[in-house]
Amino acid sequence: MKVNNQKIVRKIKNTFIERFGNDPILIKSPGRVNLIGEHTDYNNGFVLPASINKAIYFAIKPNNLGQFQFFAIDLNEQYSTLVDQIGKCKQHWANYLLGVIAQFAKDGKTIEGFDCVFGGDIPLGAGMSSSAAIECGIAFAINHLHKFDYSSLQLVKFAQIAEHEYAGVQCGIMDQFASMHGKANHVIKLDCRSLDYDLFPFDMKHYLLILVNTGVKHSLASSEYNIRRQECEEGVMTLQQHYPEIKSLRDANMDVLNKHETEFSPTVYKRCSYIIQENQRVELACITLQSEDFNEFGQLMYSSHKGLKDQYEVSCNELDKLVDIAKDIDGVMGARMMGGGFGGCTINLVKEDSVTKFEKTIKEHYITPDGGEPQIIKVVIGDGTSMVNDV
């Protein structure tokens, strides 16, 4: 496939040839954004992610040496190990690769040694899932090199388990799924319970997605994430006393919740309300996309942020300020926080002819906590993990 950043790909390919002396295959594995559907994944709900034109690129080829040799070009670091000595290592980035290899091995496959150079242009710390891109890229590469017949979904599951076991992050499946299954000018409506999905058109001819990084680290995200999960589970247990068929908040609706409001603590009621309404927003968002109603889609983004701020309480002052600034800029259709919360980025849907004004206004009215300009990242929706053929 054609890639946008040929300069990066050529550098990775040339570095591979210099280090390992032969001509590799090339693979692209993209990062992702989530347009709407936040914190719904672990409640077996719906999400609406898309793969983007920021990616990790791999040059890779068998080496017949009985070892894996990795070179992380962006870090200028290398790691190698014998094929029969796969295990967690002290080099953090290498664990994303080793963890995926381990999943093939656990499934009874023999993985021959190979050389690999990788790097890319997914900004770190901006919530675009560079780790999922690495995992999906190496899983795709191994499946291709060894002519295995794993489905895309099986490779996604390998990538997710690798992150659990080797990176120590108990992530949901959305990031890996979006990286592998993305399609240009489409978003993915993913059912996080069944893993069924549908593609909905998202015509980027006249719009850009722009991330603005608050510069605030997600310092509270992991502990608060666990608390939110517990609160949602508490809500489900209360509802199950009346409706045994409700297995998760995905199965509930606001009528049921309101009927038993007095049985919940005010906090748990707010959490459950947000999740039920956010699932509804994902459904409505897909309807708006079918009619290309970006104005209504944008309003759903604003509504999502309000719910995350007031009901789920995972926003922060910096995220709220960026959304408030965006609301007052002509040509901004919608804005909300993206990701776990307590920092990170906002995602903004902006008309193409308003992008310059958007960037200027954000820089004029927002300063990061360390006194600098905010990182502004423009993305478009691209294809998922695939071969690169035209460098």
Asked whether the beta carbons of 246 and 239 are under 8 A apart, the reply is yes
175 is a catalytic site residue: yes
The Cα–Cα gap between 120 and 95 comes to 18
According to DSSP, the residues that pair with 347 across neighbouring strands are 211, 336
- Determine which helix (DSSP H) or strand (DSSP E) holds 334, and give its type and residue range: strand 332-338
| Marked catalytic residue, from 175, 191, 255, 328 | 175
Domains (ranges, CATH) in the chain?
Answer: 6-203+382-388 (3.30.230.10), 209-379 (3.30.70.890)
Count of CB atoms within 10 A of residue 7's CB? 11
pLDDT in single tens digits along all 391 residues of the chain: 445 588 999 999 999 999 998 889 999 999 999 999 999 998 999 999 999 999 999 999 999 999 999 999 999 999 999 999 999 999 999 999 999 999 999 999 999 999 999 999 988 767 788 899 999 999 999 999 999 999 999 999 999 999 889 887 777 789 999 999 999 999 999 999 999 999 999 988 899 999 999 998 866 666 788 899 999 999 999 999 999 999 999 999 999 999 999 999 999 999 999 999 999 999 999 999 999 999 999 999 999 999 999 999 999 999 999 999 999 999 999 999 998 888 889 999 999 999 999 999 999 999 999 999 999 999 999 999 999 986 6
Asked whether the beta carbons of 32 and 128 are under 8 A apart, the reply is yes
3-state secondary structure at position 182 = coil
Residue with tokens 């309404």: 277
